[in-house]
Amino acid sequence: MSMLPDESAPPPVPTAIPAYLTAPLPDLEAWTRYFRDAEMPIRSSTALALERLRAEQETVDAHMLTNVIQGDPFMTVKLLAHAARLRRPGKDTDTETITSTLVLMGIAPFFRAFGPQPTIKDWLHDQPRALDGLRLLMQRAYRASRFALGFAVHRGDPDVELIQLAAFLYDFPEMLMWCHAPTLQQRIRDAQRADPTLRSTAIQREVLNMELDDLRQNLMTLWHLPELLVRISDNRHTDLPIVRNVVLAQRLARHTTQGWDNAAVPDDIDDIAELLHCTPRVALAYIHKIE
């Protein structure tokens, strides 16, 4: 999974100014209904790359599309959710990846289903703080995916691709908040910066009337994303090594966003060492190799 260029390139199509939410919805179910069909703008670089491939789609294969889509959380979710709508009821989805989804869908049907996409740059053009917050969150998602991949490879887990994908998509509800409720998400970020000991779940409940972890699981289930992906994204089941792999990767990426001097990092390293069945010193050395 590789990051694509930044958002500096001009988007291929204009995007209408969104109507941002400025007050919280009453509860988790209301938020779930709101986001069920909400627009998800994608990175400008992703949109441009897709349009270039559209122009030469006769020579495009699934791997070429994967290289574009896998660096964009929103485009990844859109693809998986669309594929789920096409799936026959009861069909097993545990082994679905971006590439296998594209192979099953076909290149021409993909481009018919996904025309020119709205872009984050246009969507948040009047919200510079939200744009900055979303960019930082996407960078963190990429780091989490790299950590998750490294841990899974070390553990010899057969579901490496889905573990990496789960870590990459872990924070997509927060990304949605930056796009659709930027002032509310900014309140959360300001509160956490003012008090680093403040628990995310507590401030989310106060500002949003729900927790983003619950929204993630609701939406993934509602969109019928791959069953194993949904299960390993559920941080209520950290007794399972595959879930701890994802949660610890995301946690380490979050705690090291501003550097390695966060007071929570030593505990992260201890927990990762336990997951990898090695000493904290060895775990830390391995983590730095991954980074």
Helix (H) or strand (E) holding 163: helix 160-169
Enclosing H/E stretch for 228: helix 227-232
Specify the pLDDT at position 182: 97
Are both 28-121 and 126-290 of the same fold?
Answer: yes
Quickly name the fold that domain 126-290 has: Hypothetical protein af1432 (1.10.3210)
C-alpha to C-alpha distance for 190 and 205, rounded to whole angstroms: 15
The SS3 call for residue 282 is helix
The third-level CATH classification (topology) of the domain covering 28-121 is Hypothetical protein af1432 (1.10.3210)
Name the stretches of the chain with pLDDT < 70: 1-17, 88-95
CB proximity list for 26: less than 8 A, separation 6 or greater: 209
| pLDDT score at 197 | 84
Residue 196, pLDDT score: 81
pLDDT at 6: 47
Enumerate the domain spans of the chain. Answer: 28-121, 126-290
Tens of pLDDT, residues 120-152: 999 999 999 999 999 999 999 999 999 999 999
Give first-to-last CA distance, the chain, whole Å: 14
Structure tokens at 215: 């929204």
Inter-residue contact 162 to 76 (CB < 8 Å) = no
- Are 32 and 218 within 8 A, CB to CB? yes
**For 81-86, which contacts have Cβ atoms below 8 Å and span 24 or more sequence positions?**
81/223, 81/224, 81/225, 82/113, 82/114, 84/223, 84/224, 84/225, 85/224
Q: What is the pLDDT of residues 202-211, one digit of tens each?
A: 999 999 999 9
DSSP category for residue 118? P
Q: What is the per-residue pLDDT for 97?
A: 86
178 and 121 Cβ atoms separated by less than 8 Å: no
> What per-residue confidence (pLDDT) applies to 87?
78
Q: What's the pLDDT at 91? A: 59
